[in-house]
Amino acid sequence: MAKFVIDYLSISNGDNLDGDIGTISNVLVEASLPTIEPNQVTVDNGQVINESYTVNVEMRTKESKFDATNQAGVTGAADDDAILGHAHSPVSVNGSIPAKSYIKMVGKTNSFNIELKGGIYLNGYEDYSNGRIETVLFGTLEVLSATDGLTTS
């Protein structure tokens, strides 16, 4: 079984995925996520079709700030700012609806990248269950085609 090792997470405010919000290092994607799950509906004669797809993503990092030096090679709006609770961060911590984020999980050398091309509302919180403080980021993206949710490069 192949493993996907992330070098960093790039967050953008548009689907060009240029990292203009910022990058976050030391990110772990939960083993079972991201997943693409069909949203099924029953139509004529009891047939079931996939109406759309839901992409769930959950990531953890021991970092509490965006990288000071943006790894995507651009100046990010949130460079060196707190991931949770800062005005430049697109991560909701209080139930508010933040700006949509476009995410690229950049793989280490000899790995691949995973892109969430559709905008996703990121939510976050601090977690202590692993014996250390971790920032947990999660969100759900709904797309019409299974090939729209996650792409690799």
Residue range 61-85, pLDDT digits in tens = 999 999 988 888 888 888 999 999 8
The number of CA neighbours under 13 Å toward the Cβ of 86 is: 15
Contact 97, 140 (CB under 8 A): no
Q: Nearest-CA neighbor of 125 among 51, 64, 76? A: 64
pLDDT of res. 1? 43
User: Reduced to 3 states, what is the DSSP secondary structure of residue 58?
Assistant: strand
Q: Nearest-CA neighbor of 70 among 61, 62, 79? A: 79
pLDDT of res. 110? 79
pLDDT of res. 127? 93
The better pLDDT of the pair 130, 152 is held by: 130
pLDDT of res. 81? 92
What pTM was computed for the model?
Answer: 0.81
pLDDT of res. 84? 94
Residue range 21-64, pLDDT digits in tens = 999 998 887 654 567 788 888 988 889 988 888 888 888 899 99
Contact 93, 83 (CB under 8 A): no
